[in-house]
Amino acid sequence: SGEKLAKDLKISRAAVNKQVQLLRKKGYVISAHSNAGYCLEARPDIVSPDEISGFLRSGTDTFQFFYFEDLNSTQEEAKSLAGKSVNEWEVVVAETQRRGKGRLGREWASPSGGIWFSVILKPDILPDSVPQITLVASIALCDTIEKLLGINTSIKWPNDVMSAGMKIAGILTEMSAEVGKTNWVVMGIGINANNDIPADLKESAASLREISGKSINRPELLAFFLEEFRDKVNALIRNGFSAFQDRYNEYSILNGKKVSINNGHETLAGTAGMIDENGYLILQSDNGKIDRIIAGDVTLKNSKQ
Ligand code: BT5
């Protein structure tokens, strides 16, 4: 009842009514019944901090959210925050991005209905080991999607999350470091949740809504992922990567596949193997040489991916 709300919140009845009007403007459907009070009939499909916090098991002060309806790129916003703030586990979220970024200057389509966010980390980890955080993020994302939605997922090394052969999420890791010291890491993640896939990507990408046949609760998925990811990053910093090696290899689709890999300097062709205890991909090159690769861009032979 309006009266009880006013009493519990120590505000006037008029102030309760004003807040209800504000919530309605944000998309909350609230009916009012004389004598009985208000009823929350439906929540909007938004990834606002309030909505996300409601699903955090570890409490509301474990992450700090910066929420935007529209932004050029959560990654750019998070990078400028990372340089200024001493905190970590700050999360920039946007409903839409005008200039979503992929790796190597590629574009990331970010229409409404997706989950577009960047997480700021200040890990006590050597710069060389930062790519392991990306691998751990992709495990955390697959675990989240499998546990919460029951959808089978896989990883195309290093960090494309796939389902039914289609890309459903991508990860972009950027960092600032000195020799021997990581200043910050910004991990940008794009998940196709309820968004439409642009026509030119339909052959290679899909959304979780398409795959599951139902609308995805985005704040719940994001809250679940953030907690999975944070637990795993803490374990990585404490115990190293080797504990994640098997899990990653179970998800990986590259093992035994003919690939070409651009590592930023050259393109290597061969047969991909497992990843090793440090997160390097083992590549048996066509010329017989064994290479270990920390990061790169993989093209599967005879595939659109
Ligand atoms: C990635 O790049 O997969 C990393 C994407 C990271 C996006 C997030 S969203 C939040 C944060 N803010 C940003 O500005 N970025 C991050 P890459 O491996 O380079 O893949 C890019 C390629 O994937 C493109 O060239 C397209 O072919 C394809 N692509 C673009 N948009 C896509 C989408 N929504 N779903 C699936 N594939 C997409």
pLDDT digits (tens, 9 = 90+) for 136-165: 999 999 999 999 999 999 999 998 999 999
CA of 101 to the centre of ligand 1 (A): 6
CA of 267 to the centre of ligand 1 (A): 21
Note the pLDDT of residue 265: 87
Look up residue 31 and give its amino acid.
S
pLDDT digits (tens, 9 = 90+) for 13-52: 999 999 999 999 988 999 999 888 999 999 888 999 999 9
Task: Tell me the average pLDDT of the chain.
Answer: 94
Give residue 282's region: left, alpha or beta (phi > 0; psi -120 to 50): beta
Contact 129, 241 (CB under 8 A): yes
CA of 190 to the centre of ligand 1 (A): 7
Interval 245-270 mean pLDDT? 93
Tokens linked to 9: 């919140």
pLDDT digits (tens, 9 = 90+) for 87-104: 999 999 999 999 999 998
Name the 3-class secondary structure at 175. Answer: strand
Closest atom of ligand 1 to 160 CA is: 3
pLDDT digits (tens, 9 = 90+) for 152-200: 999 999 989 999 999 999 999 999 999 999 999 999 999 999 999 999 9
In testing the pocket of ligand 1, which one of 90, 91, 108 has its CB within 8 Å of the most ligand atoms? 108
CA of 59 to the centre of ligand 1 (A): 30
Cα 237 to Cα 225: distance, rounded to the nearest angstrom: 18
Q: How many CA atoms lie within 13 A of 32 on its CB side?
A: 9
Q: How far apart are the first and last CA of the chain?
A: 55
C-beta neighbour count of 145 within 10 angstroms: 26
Whole-prediction pTM: 0.93
